[in-house]
A and B are shown apart, each in its own frame.
Chain A
């Protein structure tokens, strides 16, 4: 079974803090993704990576950065957390093209106060 794990299920941080969200997959997938999910907006792509040290901006990259130093691990970084980054964050991974199925982690519910 494919396993995508995220470092925390729930996280509470203060405005201005630096926040790290970690995602690990055990299926040797090339692609990894970070999404955020908000009521009424659905899931939106923040960043994705198709190889180690490679990253591409998604639809809403502002206020976020990512790091992929190892194939199995993809980190999402909030340099200075703000209240509008309170959300559910979901990580996913997949093999490369042509039409890869994405496997999702359990999600991290982040609250910024």
Chain B
């Protein structure tokens, strides 16, 4: 079973700061997802990646397959970025709950004005 670790668990920053959230996993994967969850529960998929780097607006996600590590960066952070950010992986072959994802515990981000 894949173990997914996120850091930090909690992060408070000032508006405009550059934010980095890290995710590491223990077993080879076919894909890694970054998800965002706002208060109230709804989860939105931000990125799905299996190699390299993806960018969407102020969000950048990178993955290093050899290192089994991914980072989510937020540039010019804003209070509306305050949310829980969750890393999730789909493992290669059996052992990852088949098509189900294995999730990190999430990073609770607060951006203060």
Contacts and interface: CB of A to CB of B under 8 A. Distances in A.
Interface string A85-113: 00010101010011111111111010000
Contacts of B106: 42
Contacts of B35: 104
B33 A102 contact: yes
Contacts, number: 64
Interface residues of A, number: 30
Interface stretch (A19-27, A44-52, A62-70, A71-79): A44-52
A99 B41 contact: no
Interface string B39-71: 011111100101000000000000000000000
A64 B30 CA distance: 28
Given A42-B106, A88-B41, A102 B98 contact: no
A97 B42 CA distance: 24
A74 to B, nearest CB: 13
Contact of A99 (B40, B43, B50, B105): B50
Interface string B73-91: 0000000000000101010
Nearest to B87: A42
A102 B105 contact: no
Given A42-B106, A104-B43, A107-B42, 8 more contacts: A41-B105, A58-B100, A88-B41, A102-B33, A102-B45, A104-B44, A105-B42, A106-B42
Interface of A: 9, 31, 33, 40-45, 48, 50, 56, 58-59, 88, 90, 92, 94, 97-107, 109
